Chains A and B, each alone.
Chain A
Amino acid sequence: MTNAILTGLMLGGMYALIAMGLTLQYGVARIMNLSYGEFLIAAAFASHWLFTGWAVSPFVGLVLVVPLAFVLNFAIYKLLLTPLVRRAPNRDALEVDSILATFGLTFVIQGSMLALFGGAYYSYSFLAFPVQFLGETVAANRLAALGITILLGLALYLALTRTRAGTAVRAVAVDPFAAQLVAINVPQASALTFALGGALVAAAGVLVSTFLTFSASSGVVFTMKALIVVVMGGVGNMLGCLVAGLALGLSEALVASYVDPGLTLAVNFALFLAVLLVKPAGLFGRATR
């Protein structure tokens, strides 16, 4: 039991981190990024390449990959998405446009990765030894990933709620019209927040690569999980991400160890439907908006 719960928490923490980036991109920049999971896999490949090719530890890899992802996502927003933002008569229209554009982007990124790495599954052995934790035996790499996930999530939460800049980011999500009245440069804030979301998913990609096998076409699974968590938690809500992510991870782990590992996806959707039937705007979302 403890082991299943521990596995669930580690998985759920990762889901929460992955979803936080998406909820920022969607809640603040109003970009529904369907290529989100591809960025995660790209970062996983980057970490793999750094580790196997240059013997760079994924911890150091984080410091290299995350800033690079930030810059890259900023550029993507400026070059690819800004024309959509300019063209969209309102935010709802932007949502639809962004779904189409990022769906296209999915194929570009996935295609490039397939061309570079082929369709095989990749993994590498990093901190792959067992350690004792709360009386259970767990893989050190998973435990390390969990620790970094908690640090990143906490840092993000504090930055968003305790600083003026973070509060400004939330203000754009709440009301972009009013945001400009308090001297917030909304297009700039949107671009930076989109880039921050990209940096977060890159961090998740590096961490995931230390304990999961992945292939060039694994991205869609992560996009889906992130979407489920974001919608379940309530768009734009960090706490919602945490709770929904943990719920998802726990339910997967419990079902996998007590019922049937083949049922995890079914459980994902059952949980998702149950939440939406009871609270259509998500656990922490408000119906009116």
Chain B
Amino acid sequence: MLEVANLSLTYGLHRALDGVALNVGRGEIVTILGANGAGKTSLLKAIAGVVRTLPGKQVRLGGRDISALAAHDIVENGLALVPEGRGIFGDLTVKENLLLGANPKRARDGEAARREQVLELFPRLRERAAQIARTMSGGEQQMLAIGRALMSNPDILLLDEPSLGLSPAMVQELFATLRRVREAGVGLLLVEQNAQESLRIADRGYVLENGIIVGHGTADQLKSDPAVQRAYLGGAPAATPSS
């Protein structure tokens, strides 16, 4: 579905991404593991077309070449980004945010039905339809950000730390929601600080270090990889308690 190859990005002299390649299939959840500053946010932004990348990248979505498209056209082609810090329109209402979510032409058919699905996933948004987005709680804003992205009828959804600032119970709820989104056939590329949680729902994962993909595998393979355990899962594997 989404195929990325040779993706590189520099900020001045700093090389934030170097020849990154990855793919995400239909209805698949793929996670990116990486330390702070590894380049995870940069990677999602580069795929979504909101930062300038070095020439030579190849991004294909459902067979179409979207490498040269501007960000707004990439959304039109079925790739939506929920950015770090949510990126909702704080001065607009919840309802207006969702209305804009369906702004791409591909989202106009079946908009009403899709809104119904989104409001079913996030009932809170229905209650808060007339509220100014910035006055909602952090968790509610996160739901709105995801809901708005879903309104664009995406084939691929990129999520940058969607659980940031959510309570543990809310995180569980969010991940359950993401599973349901996946069941609808949407492919998810997920960046999370909490590798434990993200590997639990992911099918596969990539390990990003200093802008380079240094490993990838199924979620189970990554969970049992000693290096991954040491770096991202807080030491010893959970399956072998130390006494």
> Which residues from B are CB-within-8-Å of A183?
72-73, 75-76, 103-105, 152
Complex Cα–Cα for A174 and B48 (A)? 20
A181 touches B89 (CB 8 A): no
Q: Does A182 contact B (CB under 8 A)?
A: yes
**Sampled A-B contacts (8; CB under 8 Å):** A164-B103, A167-B100, A178-B83, A180-B71, A183-B75, A184-B72, A184-B100, A186-B72
Per DSSP, are chain A's interface residues mostly helix, strand or loop, or mixed? helix
Q: Which residues of chain A (191-237) have a CB below 8 Å from chain B?
A: none
A residues in contact (CB < 8 Å) with B: 164, 167-168, 170-171, 174-175, 177-178, 180-186, 286
> Which residues from A are CB-within-8-Å of B90?
174-175
A182 touches B104 (CB 8 A): yes
Closest CB of chain B to A269's CB: distance in Å?
29
Complex Cα–Cα for A104 and B1 (A)? 51
A185 touches B152 (CB 8 A): no
A184 touches B103 (CB 8 A): yes
Complex Cα–Cα for A177 and B88 (A)? 10
B residues in contact (CB < 8 Å) with A: 48, 50, 70-73, 75-76, 80-81, 83, 87-92, 96, 99-105, 148-149, 152
Closest CB of chain A to B105's CB: distance in Å?
8
B72 touches A175 (CB 8 A): no
Closest CB of chain B to A191's CB: distance in Å?
14
Closest CB of chain B to A193's CB: distance in Å?
15
> Which residues from A are CB-within-8-Å of B73?
183
Complex Cα–Cα for A209 and B202 (A)? 67
B92 touches A164 (CB 8 A): no
Complex Cα–Cα for A123 and B31 (A)? 70
Complex Cα–Cα for A116 and B228 (A)? 76
- Seed contacts A167-B92, A175-B90, A182-B103; 17 additional CB < 8 Å A-B pairs: A164-B99, A168-B100, A168-B103, A171-B89, A174-B90, A174-B91, A175-B87, A177-B50, A178-B89, A181-B81, A181-B149, A182-B100, A182-B101, A182-B104, A183-B75, A184-B72, A286-B91
Query: When A164-B103, A167-B99, A174-B90 are in contact, do A182 and B70 touch as well, CB less than 8 Å?
Result: no
Complex Cα–Cα for A170 and B88 (A)? 13
Complex Cα–Cα for A182 and B83 (A)? 12
A164 touches B72 (CB 8 A): no
Complex Cα–Cα for A168 and B101 (A)? 10
Closest CB of chain B to A101's CB: distance in Å?
25
> Which residues from A are CB-within-8-Å of B96?
167, 170-171
Complex Cα–Cα for A193 and B79 (A)? 27
Complex Cα–Cα for A170 and B90 (A)? 11
Complex Cα–Cα for A164 and B98 (A)? 10
Which residue of B48, B50, B71, B104 has the most chain A CB atoms within 10 A of its CB atom?
B71
> Which residues from A are CB-within-8-Å of B76?
183
> Which residues from B are CB-within-8-Å of A175?
87, 89-90
A170 touches B75 (CB 8 A): no
- Nearest residue (CB) in B for A175 is B89
Tell me which of A174, A177, A180, A185 contacts B92 (CB under 8 A): A174
Ranked nearest first, the 9 interchain pairs of A and B with the lowest CB-CB distance are A183-B104, A183-B75, A178-B87, A180-B71, A182-B100, A174-B91, A182-B103, A174-B89, A183-B72
> Which residues from A are CB-within-8-Å of B152?
182-183
- Nearest residue (CB) in A for B91 is A174
- Nearest residue (CB) in A for B148 is A182
